[in-house]
Amino acid sequence: MPPRATDARRAAVLGKPIAHSLSPVLHRAAYDALGLTDWSYDRFEIDEAALPGFLEKLGPQWAGLSLTMPLKRAVIPLVDEVSETAASVDAVNTVIFTEDGRRVGDNTDIPGMVAALREHGIEEVESAAILGAGATASSALAALARICTGEVVAYVRSEARAAEMRQWGERLEVDVRTADWTEAERALRAPLVIATTPAGTTDALAAAVPERPTTLFDVLYDPWPTELAARWSMFGGAVVSGLDLLVHQAVLQVERMTGRSPAPLEAMRRAGEKALAAR
């Protein structure tokens, strides 16, 4: 049974650093649109060492938590149940507190990626390329497991990272081939390119964008657009942004924490855009 609008409940985002997080903006916009006037959503700077103590102090008014780095793996031993989606990449970005006091770990990044792509008309691709090999890249592989029918090429900087991506491919049952970062310009000709690297990493690739680019999913959102995304758009290619991902994964979090569905996607997106513009 979904909570009533008069039920005072709490939620928050945890991580370190956390000051930059847009999650409070998105979740509060959802509460306003849903009429959940007594709900609150905060942010707390918490690292791995502080996480167990923080969780132990939470009372029954808590509905859920959003988790960012470095807590997505650290929280797994601290929850009672992990969803199949979260277990597939060993990463929990959402904790739901059930009525009987259990902690359930989930991952909304993966279905959030799929939803963001579908919103831009990408239901299925024959092949794809991933730029980078960090935690976000493994989530991207898990998303591609749902929509990609062929090979995924991951462009990485070291053999150790390459081995990790091949292992993730085996685990997620995705056909993964790895290539050195020096060949990353080739990635830009794939039907779908997912850039998962930190700010500035792909700037040098902007000059290599093909005349008829396909779809770029750049997981960054601040600063935006990246040089690669700006060039991609200039040449007429479709661009999915990190804000698209952030909003879609937050929509799923709101629905699971509040029991209200559908969450107000457009209200949340507008709030995120306004907050980024203010920066």
Catalytic residue among 16, 57, 72, 274: 72
Q: Which two tokens stand for residue 49?
A: 């060492």
40-45 and 62-67 beta bridge pairing: unpaired
Q: Residues 128, 103: contact at Cβ < 8 Å?
A: no
Concerning whether 72 is annotated as a catalytic residue, the answer is yes
Q: Residues 200, 132: contact at Cβ < 8 Å?
A: no
Measured CA to CA, the distance from residue 218 to residue 197 in angstroms comes to 9
Measured CA to CA, the distance from residue 130 to residue 116 in angstroms comes to 16
Give 278: exposed, middle or buried? Use CB within 10 Å, 0-12, 13-18, 19+: exposed
Return the closest-CA partner of residue 136 out of 177, 178, 89: 89
- Neighbour count for residue 250 (Cβ, 10 Å): 27
User: Phi/psi of residue 102, each to 5°?
Assistant: -85, 155
Is the backbone peptide bond immediately before 52 cis, with ω within 30 degrees of 0?
Answer: no
Measured CA to CA, the distance from residue 249 to residue 93 in angstroms comes to 9
Residues identified as active-site = 72
